[in-house]
Amino acid sequence: MIGMNQQNMNGINKYILLKNIIINEPISRIELSHLTGLSKMTVTGLIKEYMDAGIVQECGMADSTGGRRRTYLQVAPESLLTLGIHVGRDNLNVGIINLKGQIIQSESMELSAMENNDIFLKGLFLLCDRLMQTRYREKVWGIGISCAGPLLVKDGVILNPPDFNNIRNLPIVSCLEERYDLPAYLQNDICVAALAEVYFGNRNQYDDFIYVGISAGIGGGVIMNGKLYTGFSGLAGIMGHTIVEKDGILCECGQRGCLEMYSSTRAVVKWARENGAGKDLTWMELLVRASSGDEVCMKAVERMTGYLEVAFANMANAYDTQCFIIGGDLHIYQEKIVKRLEEKLRSKSFSWGQERNIHVESSSFIGSASFIGTVALVLENNSEV
Ligand SMILES: [Zn+2]
């Protein structure tokens, strides 16, 4: 029993070291000891194990204070590879991704309106087989899957996401584990994007932040102390269904007045169409017209931002977060909306006289966070590290 606990502790300690090396490399053993609170001796011992396994390597660098050269550590990016899978509404991406979040090889296919569990799995296996027949196979140590909710994360099941054709109750984790004999992990795509920001984004100065994806739906991924916080039933940060209008528009979740009914791209387009912007208006057209002064389209963006302000203020107060990172489909309005939300949050949120400089920033990635974040998902879960 003692032996087992010891092994578990080592597993956790080693994982914390690897995570800190990936995020902060190049980094010295002493810095790792300061960052993790582990003794220098423990760090040295565990690093030796990683080096023997070829996962971590030394790189000499001049000391910044101008003294002698010090030995720093970095990961060997190709030593552990992830088979990353991102299931989007309209397409499927599969790739071999290294420890630095770089996609080595990838395949994708469109998901058709005909999709059901069987057709989907056939397509998924076809793409995965192609990648797993390459020379990278032997270094693949886990499978990370990101998918729009609702999911049953702990059972590895995709339930029945809206607009997902006929994909229902699909036990994607067990299907993949069986076929490839590797551990697989499933998580909501927005949470995976949040993990991508922790490991590979240039925002890692924040230990506490909420990643918000604004597109046809709205999702939030909560990071606390550098780790994903998913709550009691996996629904923490489900921002699209926070209520911004009492007795408001009925949402498909059963509540009234959800943020998604006011600030998702779909809801904004719907409102603009109903208010005279033309029945064929698309989201991109709406943005372009708003930026060139079209009154209805400007109002639509204004209305959207107003509701986002309410939801952001509520989330800021509920989680006492340092920063919001925004990804999704805001395109040409991205920077404008980011700036506006930051201004409003700083002027409005509850602070009881304290300085509370909440930041709002754009995602470090364009579109790929939910895909490359699958590497972080495997790292956070695979205890073999
Ligand atoms: Zn709802």
pLDDT category at 197 given cuts 50, 70, 90 is very high
Residue 205 pLDDT exceeds 70: yes
pLDDT category at 150 given cuts 50, 70, 90 is confident
- Between the CA of 250 and the centroid of ligand 1 the distance, in Å, is 8
Task: Report the alpha-carbon angle 20-233-151, nearest 5.
Answer: 85
- Between the CA of 17 and the centroid of ligand 1 the distance, in Å, is 40
Residue 194 pLDDT: 96
CATH topology classification for 2-75: Arc Repressor Mutant, subunit A (1.10.10)
* pTM > 0.85: yes
Percentage of the residues of the chain whose pLDDT score is greater than 90: 78
Q: Which CATH number among 3.30.420.40, 3.40.50.300, 3.30.70.141, 1.20.900.10 corresponds to the domain 204-362?
A: 3.30.420.40
Residue 6 pLDDT: 52
- Between the CA of 258 and the centroid of ligand 1 the distance, in Å, is 5
Residue 2 pLDDT: 38
- Between the CA of 259 and the centroid of ligand 1 the distance, in Å, is 7
- Mean pLDDT value of segment 112-122: 88
**Structure tokens belonging to residue 120:** 């989907």
- Between the CA of 3 and the centroid of ligand 1 the distance, in Å, is 48
Residue 385 pLDDT: 64
pLDDT category at 1 given cuts 50, 70, 90 is very low
Q: Which CATH class is domain 81-194+369-381?
A: alpha beta
Residue 227 pLDDT: 93
- Residue 342 makes CB contacts below 8 A (sequence gap 6+) with 358, 359, 360
- Between the CA of 252 and the centroid of ligand 1 the distance, in Å, is 6
- Between the CA of 241 and the centroid of ligand 1 the distance, in Å, is 4
Residue 371 pLDDT: 97
Please state the three-class secondary structure of the chain as a single string.
Answer: CHHHHHHHHHHHHHHHHHHHHHHHCCECHHHHHHHHCCCHHHHHHHHHHHHHCCCEEEEEEECCCCCCEEEEEEECCCCCEEEEEEECCCEEEEEEECCCCCEEEEEEEECCCCCEHHHHHHHHHHHHHHHHCCHHHHHEEEEEEEECCCEEHHHCEECCCCCCCECCCECHHHHHHHHHCCCEEEEEHHHHHHHHHHHHCCCCCCCCEEEEEECCCEEEEEEECCEEECCCCCCCCCHHHCECCCCCCECCCCCECECHHHHCHHHHHHHHHHHHHCCCCCHHHHHHHHHCCCHHHHHHHHHHHHHHHHHHHHHHHHHCCCEEEEEECCHHHHHHHHHHHHHHHHHHCCCCCCCCCCEEEECCCCCCHHHHHHHHHHHHHCCCC
- List, as ranges, residues with CB under 5 A of the ion ligand 1: 241, 251, 253, 255, 258
- Between the CA of 274 and the centroid of ligand 1 the distance, in Å, is 21
**Could you report the per-residue pLDDT of 27-80, keeping only the tens digit for each?**
999 999 999 999 999 999 999 999 999 999 999 776 666 666 779 999 999 999
Residue 167 pLDDT exceeds 70: yes
Residue 35 pLDDT: 93
Q: In what order do the strands lie in the sheet with 359-362?
A: 227-229, 218-224, 209-214, 323-328, 359-362
- Between the CA of 311 and the centroid of ligand 1 the distance, in Å, is 13
**Could you report the per-residue pLDDT of 222-238, keeping only the tens digit for each?**
999 999 999 988 888 88
Q: Which of 12-16, 42-46, 95-99, 378-382 has the lowest mean pLDDT?
A: 12-16
- Between the CA of 80 and the centroid of ligand 1 the distance, in Å, is 39
Rounded to whole angstroms, the Cα distance separating 359 from 211 reads 12
Identity of residue 172: I
Residue 90 pLDDT: 85
- Between the CA of 120 and the centroid of ligand 1 the distance, in Å, is 27
CB 328 within 8 A of CB 340: no
Residue 11 pLDDT: 74
Residue 203 pLDDT: 55
Domain boundaries for CATH 1.10.10.10 within the chain: 2-75
Residue 3 pLDDT exceeds 50: no
- Between the CA of 249 and the centroid of ligand 1 the distance, in Å, is 9
Residue 10 pLDDT exceeds 80: no
CB 116 within 8 A of CB 169: no
- Between the CA of 40 and the centroid of ligand 1 the distance, in Å, is 50
Query: What rounded mean pLDDT belongs to the chain?
Result: 91
- Between the CA of 381 and the centroid of ligand 1 the distance, in Å, is 29
- Between the CA of 266 and the centroid of ligand 1 the distance, in Å, is 14
- Between the CA of 324 and the centroid of ligand 1 the distance, in Å, is 21
- Between the CA of 302 and the centroid of ligand 1 the distance, in Å, is 21
pLDDT category at 366 given cuts 50, 70, 90 is confident
Rounded to whole angstroms, the Cα distance separating 342 from 360 reads 5
- Between the CA of 322 and the centroid of ligand 1 the distance, in Å, is 26
Domain boundaries for CATH 3.30.420.40 within the chain: 81-194+369-381, 204-362
- Between the CA of 153 and the centroid of ligand 1 the distance, in Å, is 20
